[in-house]
Structure 1
Amino acid sequence: MTKKRALVTGVTGQDGNHLASLLQDEGYEVYGLIRGQNNPKRAEFEARHPHVRLVEGDLTDPAALIRAVDLSDPDELYNLGAVSHVGYSFKNPSLTESVTGKGVLNVLEAVRVTGRSERTRVYQASTSEMFGGLDYNRPGAGYDEDSLFHPRSPYGVAKLYGHWISRNYRESYGMFVSCGILFNHEGEFRGPEFVTRKITQAVARIARGMQEYVVLGDLWPKRDWGYAGDYVRGMWKMLQHDRPDDFVLATGETHSIEEFLSLAFRTVGIDDWTPYVKQDAAFMRPAEVDILLGNPAKAEEQLGWVREVSFEKLVELMVRHDLDALAGLESAR
């Protein structure tokens, strides 16, 4: 039996790592797009996923994307690549637009001009940041697929362009393009530049006497946080569905950064975290999203998607992973 083939952009990121494992378990031949020969994540990724064939390319380079699609000849293409840090997007809005926004167009065009519009199913990684924390259609119920968009960062604006151009190609060319509007999802592969991983790494180091405190921005924003492994399975389910569509993946509950902090410190036996946390305006954004809450009813009903990891288990998983990583470094010395 011929294996299905998948091409994943952003394969060395958090979701790419989870997806590479899932696709291998599902029996796929997996290709991953990677930027440049000196990518700092390459060696670690290759060690973890030797089954993935890496293809060099860039979302801003249409010719490279066409070569990648021709080489991989994918049944499914997962576009996870992006400048994905909201704070960074304020400092580098033009780069964010080129990669996170126009990069989606380049991916879709690569599929179309290589004649694979009818065969290759495309997943576009949209985001809850497109909603911007404003204008609930149904207050208290959370954002769903019909809620109004009001992005409040260059990242959110760029992602909204990618979302709408994906829908346009679906409607204009009959392409199978599904958009996953994912709310915050975290885990052991999350980069240290994101607040959740910054917290869990700091808590692990503080618990081992290697760090005195962690410096953060605002602690009051609330997010709908889930586990990345659960959400990646939702991505895969979208491309197994009988028709392309847009789906929200979320937990339906919100927690503040302060709650995340409390659980993280509690995991290492510290009940009062206030002596270990400082705030700095440098980590505060020009426009902050107060609250993001999703409604995953459509994905649950139509895809049979369910999340398995609770918020409490997520925080504990991340802290214990970072404690184990420190223990591994110490034992290797």
Structure 2
Amino acid sequence: MTTAFVTGISGQDGTILAAALAADGIEVHGLVRSADEEAQQRTVLPAGVVLHLGELTDRARVGELVDSVRPDEIYNLAGISSVAYSWEHPTVTGEVSGLAAVGVFEAAWSLQERTGRAVRVLQASSAEIFGRPDRTPQDEGTTVRPISPYGAAKAYAHQMAGIFRGRGLHVATTILYNHESPLRPTTFVTRKITAAAARIAHEGGGTLSLGSTAVRRDWGWAPDYVDAMTRALRHTTADDFVVATGVTHTVAEFVETAMRHAGVADWEAHVETDEGLVRPADAAEQIGDATKAHEVLGWRPTVTFDELVGRMVDHDLAIVRGVA
């Protein structure tokens, strides 16, 4: 039986991935930070998923777990998930999203060297590594030049994946553009928007505070992107793959679509700008060219922007109506 080890299993992507792997008959192990997190995940993960306590930054613990689990597949999804948080905590971001990822690669490489068994690793990279990109749309050859602590940490891990690939470790990376689902916490702007749209529709009024609504992003459906991860890891040759829809929308368009789906007509009357939410530096537009993933992995997105927003709003409407 194939065995997989997933860091970040308690996040959106990790939860979706664990369910998909278990459905394929794979033995799934996951890393969680606390007993509370472990208890929470047991209510949402399939039976049989084994959870292990530990910090991603504890290289000895990660190495110990990799040695004991002896996974065939490792998915490193853990890390700081907020660009805004990274500005407030740049050192922690570098340790968790950068250095700790290399600790995962090192543990996998050491296991492979000692046992002679191939270990495959997937590093969840990010479009933030491109910062203000030198080309639009961005592809795997776009210059890596991040402009945020989050992007810098992810860039380090991304480039170290290539270095370990040169050492003989099968490390594939998926350069993920924004991808959403109802599993996103409301600290993410997309879920903040859909939750607010549901609340405003249900209560008949209210406001939504946002930073810049002019920022453009390439938004996709999270389960589609998780599918790309497994395809990238299992492909014959480890490589880098941009995972994106190739279509962008502004935050304002996201708000308008969410409000309209919830039944709120005059969306602009419910939105106010909070300068405190504007990031010190932000890429104005990110759009990915996933041609390589299409041609090499046979991957394509299956859910449109309007469908994605609608599914999230429906979920939040069910919550405010007490039927979720």
Q: TM-score, normalised by structure 2?
A: 0.96
- Structure 2 counterpart of 1:156: 151
**Distance change in 2, residues 1:105/1:256 (3 Å):** same
- Structure 2 counterpart of 1:82: 79
Measure, in 1, the Cα distance between the counterparts of 2:319 and 2:15: 17
- Structure 2 counterpart of 1:7: 5
Residue pair 1:118, 1:174 contacting (<8 A) in 2 also: no
- Structure 2 counterpart of 1:135: 134
- Structure 2 counterpart of 1:287: 281
Superposed, 1:239-254 pairs within 5 Å as 239-254=233-248
| Alignment coverage as a number of residue pairs | 321
Report the aligned-residue RMSD. Answer: 1.4
- Structure 1 counterpart of 2:44: 48
Residue pair 1:118, 1:176 contacting (<8 A) in 2 also: no
For the pair 1:176 / 2:173, whether they are aligned, the reply is no
- Structure 1 counterpart of 2:198: 204
Cα shift at 1:71: 2.5
Measure, in 1, the Cα distance between the counterparts of 2:115 and 2:59: 15
Deviations 1:180-216 (A, max 9, x none): 0011101111121110001011111111118611111
- Structure 2 counterpart of 1:103: 100
Mind listing any 5+ residue stretches in structure 2 that lack a counterpart? none
Of 16, 33, 58, 1:61 maps to 58
- Structure 1 counterpart of 2:307: 313
Cα shift at 1:118: 5.0
Please say which of residues 185-194 and 107-116 is displaced more in the overlay. Answer: 107-116
Deviations 1:105-164 (A, max 9, x none): 11111112233675110000100001113311xx4xx10001112211100000000001
Letter in 1 for 2:81: S
Residue pair 1:82, 1:99 contacting (<8 A) in 2 also: yes
Of 291, 303, 317, 1:323 maps to 317
Letter in 2 for 1:108: F
Alignment partner of 1:218: what SS?
coil
For the pair 1:119 / 2:118, whether they are aligned, the reply is yes
Of 15, 35, 48, 1:37 maps to 35
Measure, in 1, the Cα distance between the counterparts of 2:266 and 2:322: 27
**Distance change in 2, residues 1:267/1:54 (3 Å):** same
Cα shift at 1:94: 0.4
Measure, in 2, the Cα distance between the counterparts of 1:276 and 1:68: 49
Measure, in 2, the Cα distance between the counterparts of 1:67 and 1:106: 11
Deviations 1:263-290 (A, max 9, x none): 0000011221112111111101000110
Of 89, 92, 96, 1:92 maps to 89
Measure, in 1, the Cα distance between the counterparts of 2:205 and 2:243: 35
Alignment partner of 1:145: what SS?
coil
**Distance change in 2, residues 1:245/1:203 (3 Å):** same
Of 255, 260, 273, 2:267 maps to 273
Q: TM-score, normalised by structure 1?
A: 0.93
**Distance change in 2, residues 1:299/1:116 (3 Å):** farther
Residue pair 2:86, 2:150 contacting (<8 A) in 1 also: yes
Measure, in 1, the Cα distance between the counterparts of 2:195 and 2:160: 37
Of 138, 146, 149, 2:141 maps to 146
Residue pair 1:264, 1:315 contacting (<8 A) in 2 also: yes
Measure, in 2, the Cα distance between the counterparts of 1:93 and 1:193: 18
Measure, in 1, the Cα distance between the counterparts of 2:183 and 2:30: 17
Measure, in 2, the Cα distance between the counterparts of 1:182 and 1:117: 31
Alignment partner of 1:6: what SS?
strand
Residue pair 2:200, 2:264 contacting (<8 A) in 1 also: no
Measure, in 2, the Cα distance between the counterparts of 1:208 and 1:73: 50
Letter in 2 for 1:22: A
Measure, in 1, the Cα distance between the counterparts of 2:182 and 2:210: 20
Alignment partner of 1:51: what SS?
coil
Cα shift at 1:32: 0.5
Measure, in 2, the Cα distance between the counterparts of 1:314 and 1:24: 24
- Structure 2 counterpart of 1:299: 293
